[in-house]
Amino acid sequence: MRSVGVEEELLLVDARSGTPLAVSGAVLAAAERLAWQESGHGRGKPHEFEKELQKEQLEFATKPVTEMGELQAEITRIRGEAGRYAANAGAVVAAVATSPLPVKPSLNAGKRYQWLGEQFGLTAQEQLTCGTHVHVSVASDEEGVAVLDRIRPWLAVLTAMSANSPYWQGEDTGYGSYRSRVWNRWPSAGPMEVFGSADHYHEHVRTMIGTGVLRDEGMIYFDARLSATYPTVEVRVADVCLHPTTPVLLAALIRGLVETAARAWRDGEPPARISTGLLRLASWRAGRSGLDGPLLHPETMRETSAAHAVEALYQHVREALADHGDDERVRQGIAHLHERGNGARVQRQLFRSEASLARVVSECARMTNEG
């Protein structure tokens, strides 16, 4: 069975005001200190946290697992640890994909981040966004590229399901996932064309880096890519999700997409030749609507309801879900997501009841830490 791992980025905020705090260095120092003390002075497992572009955010990665119940336990555990370490720096963590309150982000120190700031100016300076990245194991680069070519039309639905960034600089953007719009300011971000082979993929990446616009392979920000570090396909379209069950739902669906695509490749089925331009429209529509408006159907690229688009995704991967033992979890997860709403809907409901973005952030932080 294919293994799955999840990376999440969390926002560091003041518990009372909800304002983002530039304290990732202090949080990581607390993580180092406490992990060292609790492991018997360096004999135990290191912590899972890393710094990100901005000092107001914290990133973690789960270990690769094959069981979705274990993945949910991992995410819940690590989120709890993040909250414990953040408390040592006078902060709390919130699983929101953009800050609802106004903020002027602070770039982290280091040559790489300095280069990004100089090269991309306001795009890098304003880029305080938190996403979810899902890794699924593949047997080879050739299989991985075959998967990338075949999952392209389905990725926008995942953006809609995960949408958790309706606010930006204190304003309601009108979008479910405004993070996706901010993220796509990067020149290498977004959907890509059909590559056809691993050689073509790698040549395309080398050519992009060779232009000098991008620093290295780490800046290949495609919606889905071959990981430069692990033998995985990495899907990068999702907002960080408020409730810890949602990234697990996404991970199960993405593993289903990868397996379905790999089987189609082995059976000689060609990928759908949907243009990159149409996929960009589908991505915009998903970011705008979330689950509260129309989406583009992944197969026809015609407008349909969010419920129908999600159902189409489920039916597309259902056989693989059943083979993985994930079908019931996914069916229930989709039903709960429609009933509860994604993070964007929850944030807007909180604002309608509280009339305060600070209260929205504090409630989201409580949900993040309580699981």
Residue 340 near residue 80, CB atoms below 8 Å? no
Please write the tens of the pLDDT for every residue from 93-104.
999 999 999 999
Query: For the chain, what is the HEC assignment?
Result: CCCEEEEEEEEEECCCCCCECCCHHHHHHHHHHHHHHHCCCCCCCCCCEEECCECCEEEEECCCECCHHHHHHHHHHHHHHHHHHHHCCCCEEECCCCCCCCCCCCECCCHHHHHHHHHHCHHHHCCCCCEEEEEEECCCHHHHHHHHHHHHHHHHHHHHHHCCECEECCEECCCCEHHHHHHCCCCCCECCCCCCCHHHHHHHHHHHHHCCCCCCHHHCCECEEECCCCCEEEEEEEECCCCCHHHHHHHHHHHHHHHHHHHHHHCCCCCCCCCHHHHHHHHHHHHHHCCCCCEECCCCCCEECHHHHHHHHHHHHHHHHHHHCCHHHHHHHHHHHHHHCCHHHHHHHHHHHHCCHHHHHHHHHHHHHHC
User: What residue type is 16 in one-letter code?
Assistant: R
- Report the sign of the C-alpha dihedral through residues 153, 155, 161, 166, in that order: negative
pLDDT above 60: residue 321: yes
pLDDT at 364: 97
pLDDT at 42: 54
Comparison of pLDDT for 15 and 34, the residue scoring more: 15
Report domain extents, the chain: 4-370
Distance, first Cα to last Cα, the chain: 27
Please write the tens of the pLDDT for every residue from 158-204.
999 999 999 999 999 999 999 999 999 999 999 999 999 999 999 99
Query: Cα–Cα distances in Å, from 159 out to 56, 57, 73, 133, 297?
Result: 23, 20, 23, 11, 13
The number of beta carbons lying within 10 Å of the beta carbon of residue 229 is: 9
Residue 343 near residue 221, CB atoms below 8 Å? no
Identify the bridge partners of residue 50 per DSSP, sorted by sequence position. Answer: 59
pLDDT above 60: residue 41: no
Pair of tokens at residue 353: 């009841």
Q: Which of 335, 300, 323 is nearest to 153 (CA)?
A: 300
pLDDT at 15: 93
Please write the tens of the pLDDT for every residue from 97-131.
999 999 999 999 999 999 999 999 999 999 999 99
Give the model's confidence band at 146: pLDDT under 50 very low, under 70 low, under 90 confident, else very high: very high
Report, at the CATH architecture level, how domain 4-370 is classified. 2-Layer Sandwich (3.30)
Give the model's confidence band at 44: pLDDT under 50 very low, under 70 low, under 90 confident, else very high: very low
Please write the tens of the pLDDT for every residue from 242-281.
999 999 999 999 999 999 999 999 999 999 999 999 999 9
pLDDT above 70: residue 154: yes
pLDDT at 47: 74
Comparison of pLDDT for 45 and 104, the residue scoring more: 104
- Per-chain mean pLDDT for the chain: 95
The number of beta carbons lying within 10 Å of the beta carbon of residue 211 is: 8
User: CA-based diameter of the chain, in Å?
Assistant: 59
Distance CA 173, CA 286 (A): 14
pLDDT at 35: 76
Name the residue with tokens 């991985």.
144
Over residues 125-154, mean pLDDT: 98
pLDDT at 33: 86
Please write the tens of the pLDDT for every residue from 328-369.
999 999 999 999 999 999 999 999 999 999 999 999 999 998
Q: Do the bridges between strand 49-51 and strand 57-61 make them parallel or antiparallel, or are there none, so unpaired?
A: antiparallel
Give the model's confidence band at 46: pLDDT under 50 very low, under 70 low, under 90 confident, else very high: low
pLDDT above 50: residue 232: yes
Please write the tens of the pLDDT for every residue from 53-87.
999 999 999 999 999 999 999 999 999 999 999 99
pLDDT above 80: residue 144: yes
pLDDT above 70: residue 45: no
